[in-house]
């Protein structure tokens, strides 16, 4: 009957373990998908100053790699932690109940062991950050190069770029090697101490068994508890090392997740009508990334129901003025006003949906031509409206000549249509 009970307990623990594993996996994946989506949404709402300070490849690495760390932490580490704590505390109790003296001897080295783990944790914590940073940099470089293939090939820079990428990865590799070395060292030191402890326990235990002060059965049981204790301790140590490595990355991910843009959506007026009187009043502006370089100095003009062309030398600040009109930035001094209302008092979405912007280097998405035309107003735009807009921009004729007309996809970055066609 005891055999049956033991068998049943094993079966139950087997099934529970699988069940817990599935639950942890599902919970972690669901949570991380939500976090990634939230992160992406938050990234999309940041101000332009933020994007100037971060390379897009670096951000995508944060989005995918750093959150991957978070996931493995949620899925595996938390599960291991639960097991390790139960094992550690349970076996500690069992040891002290079976034989307090031996238990004291067995746990004597643990504080020292823990100190070693703490030191190693600090080291891997530092290198974990460097690892993530170098990986993000390598990713940033790759994305940049792959996005500018024409320039790279036209300048026969393929090998140079490959070498640049290799250098980035090598840097990453060196950091990994250092991390692995410290961790190996820790494991050796820790195992050495544990072995020493095992010998001491064996000597004292056997001595007592021979002297008849301790039954062989209790000693065997004690040793079983001790090995459980050791397992629990090393899992805890491992978790600590992993944790120190990931904690800072996780922290940075969360920081990015909670970052508030300096130009925020969702506040301000939404006037019912828009006449279109634009006033630029004594505006001075410097980019956030170059505070000392005043690009616009005391610029003023009024545009009311008329066409205004801004002329100036290259680098004079024409594009910058356009960016202020979209309120990608706020001026340091002065104000922009629409129908007499300061931009800063207007709802950002409302303001931007009143303005059409054609960039110096326009971007088309890999959607159909009609979806691209209606990108600024995706809901409730009729086919007729889209066609009318295309005709007004003298784009209708060449669109009709494309294979699928308005349903044609210009391809990523619009490679299948000309630069001039794109601007239209």
Helix, strand, coil percentages (3-state) for the chain, rounded to 5, are 70, 5, 25
Please identify, using beta-carbon distances, which residue of 169 and 294 lies nearer to ligand ATP. 294
Per-residue contact track with ligand ATP, 14 to 33, x per CB under 6 A? --------------------
Check: CB of residue 192 under 8 Å from CB of residue 109.
no
Q: What is the Cα–Cα distance from 241 to 251, expressed in whole angstroms? A: 16
Considering the complex, what minimum distance in angstroms separates the CB of residue 422 from Mg ion? 17
Q: Which does 109 bind (CB under 5 to 8 A by kind): ligand ATP, Mg ion, none?
A: none
Q: H/E/C letters for each residue in 381-418? A: CCHHHHHHHHHHCCCHHHHHHCCCHHHCCCCHHHCCCC
CA distance 264 to 344: 10
Report the nearest approach of Mg ion to the CB of residue 318 (Å): 5
Contact between 299 and 282 (Cβ < 8 Å)? yes
291 lines the binding site for ligand ATP (CB under 6 A): no
Contact set for ligand ATP, span 231-290 (CB under 6 A): 287, 289-290
Structure tokens at 189: 């030191």
> Residue 255 touches which of Mg ion, ligand ATP, none (CB < 5 to 8 A by kind)?
none
* Identity of the residue, 33 or 319, whose beta carbon is nearer to ligand ATP in the bound complex: 319
DSSP 135-183: HHHHHHHHHHHHTTHHHHHHTT-HHHHHHHHHHHHHHHHHHHHHHHHHH
Pick the closer one to ligand ATP by CB: 23 or 316. Answer: 316
Q: Does 328 help bind ligand ATP (rule: CB under 6 A)?
A: no
Name the residue nearer to ligand ATP (CB basis): 319 or 418. Answer: 319
Query: Distance between CA 236 and CA 229 in Å, rounded?
Result: 11
CB of residue 319 to Mg ion, shortest distance in Å: 3
Cα torsion 211, 212, 213, 219: sign: positive
Give the contacts of 244 (CB within 8 A, at least 6 positions apart): 121, 122, 124, 125, 128
Residue 166 binds which entry of ligand ATP, Mg ion, none, CB below 5-8 Å type-dependent: none
Q: Nearest distance from residue 150's CB to ligand ATP, in Å?
A: 20
Torsion sign, CA atoms 375, 376, 379, 380 = negative
Find the binder of ligand ATP among 315, 340, 356, 380 (CB under 6 A).
315
Q: Is 357 in the site for ligand ATP (CB under 6 A)?
A: no
Closest separation in Å from C-beta 340 to ligand ATP: 26
53 makes contact with ligand ATP (CB under 6 A) = no
Residue 317 or 414: the one with the smaller Cβ distance to ligand ATP is: 317
Query: Shortest distance, CB of residue 293 to ligand ATP, whole angstroms?
Result: 6
Rounded Cα distance between 249 and 139, Å, is: 16
Which neighbouring-strand residues pair with 303? 278
- Least distance from ligand ATP to the Cβ atom of residue 352, Å: 19
Choose which of 124, 320, 370, 372 interacts with ligand ATP (CB under 6 A).
Answer: 320
Span near ligand ATP by CB under 6 A; candidates 53-61, 107-115, 184-192, 311-319: 311-319
Instruction: Give the residue with the Cβ less far from ligand ATP, 321 or 348.
Output: 321
Binds 287: which of ligand ATP, Mg ion, none (CB < 5-8 Å by kind) = ligand ATP
- Residue 175 contacts residue 130 (beta carbons within 8 Å): yes
Side by side, the strands of the sheet bearing 294-304 are 294-304, 277-286, 333-338, 341-342
Binding residues for Mg ion, per CB under 5 A?
319
The backbone region for 327, taken as left when phi is positive above 0, alpha when psi lies in -120 to 50, beta otherwise, is left
Would you state the structure tokens that stand for residue 222, as one six-digit string?
């004690």
Task: Determine the size of the site formed for ligand ATP (CB under 6 A).
Answer: 14
Tell me which of ligand ATP, Mg ion, none is bound by residue 281, counting a contact when its beta carbon lies within the kind-specific cut-off of 5 to 8 angstroms: none
Binding piece for ligand ATP, criterion CB under 6 A, among 209-217, 307-315, 344-352, 370-378: 307-315
Contacts with ligand ATP, residue ranges (CB under 6 A): 52, 287, 289-290, 295, 312, 314-320, 360
């Amino acid at each position: 009957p005891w055999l049956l009970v033991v068998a049943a307990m094993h079966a139950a623990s087997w099934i529970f373990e699988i069940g817990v594993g599935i639950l942890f996996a599902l919970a972690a994946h669901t949570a991380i998908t939500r976090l990634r989506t939230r992160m992406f949404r938050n990234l999309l709402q940041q101000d332009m100053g933020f994007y100037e300070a971060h390379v897009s490849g670096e951000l995508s690495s944060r989005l995918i790699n750093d959150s991957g760390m978070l996931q493995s932490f949620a899925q595996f580490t938390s599960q291991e932690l639960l097991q390790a704590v139960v094992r550690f505390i349970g076996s500690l109790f069992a040891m002290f109940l079976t034989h307090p003296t031996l238990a004291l001897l067995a746990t004597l080295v643990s504080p020292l062991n823990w100190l070693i783990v703490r030191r190693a944790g600090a080291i891997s914590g530092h290198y974990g950050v460097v690892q993530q940073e170098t990986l993000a940099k390598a990713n940033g470089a790759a994305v940049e190069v792959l996005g500018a293939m024409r320039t790279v090939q036209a300048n026969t820079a393929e090998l140079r770029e490959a070498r640049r990428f290799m250098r980035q990865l090598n840097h990453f590799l060196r950091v990994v090697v250092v991390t692995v070395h410290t961790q190996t060292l820790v494991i050796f030191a820790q195992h050495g101490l544990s072995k020493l402890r095992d010998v001491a326990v064996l000597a004292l235990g056997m001595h007592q068994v021979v002297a008849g002060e301790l039954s062989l059965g209790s000693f065997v049981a004690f040793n079983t508890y001790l090995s459980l204790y050791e397992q629990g301790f090393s899992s805890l140590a491992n978790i600590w090392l992993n944790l120190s490595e990931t904690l800072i990355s996780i922290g940075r991910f969360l920081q990015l997740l909670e970052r508030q843009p300096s130009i925020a959506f969702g506040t301000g007026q939404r006037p019912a009508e828009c006449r279109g009187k634009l006033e630029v009043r004594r505006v001075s502006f410097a980019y956030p990334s170059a505070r000392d370089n005043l690009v616009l100095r005391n610029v003023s003009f009024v545009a009311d129901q008329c066409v205004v062309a801004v002329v100036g030398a290259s680098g004079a600040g024409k594009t910058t003025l356009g960016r202020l009109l979209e309120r990608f930035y706020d001026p340091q001094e002065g104000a922009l006003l629409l129908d007499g209302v300061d931009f800063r008092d207007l709802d950002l979405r409302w303001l931007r949906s009143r303005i059409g912007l054609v960039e110096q280097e326009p971007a088309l998405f890999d959607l159909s031509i009609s979806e691209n035309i209606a990108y600024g107003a995706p809901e409730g735009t009729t086919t007729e409206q889209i066609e009318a807009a295309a005709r007004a921009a003298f784009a209708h004729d060449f669109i009709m000549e494309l294979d699928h007309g308005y349903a044609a996809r210009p391809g990523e970055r619009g490679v299948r249509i000309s630069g001039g066609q794109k601007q239209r």
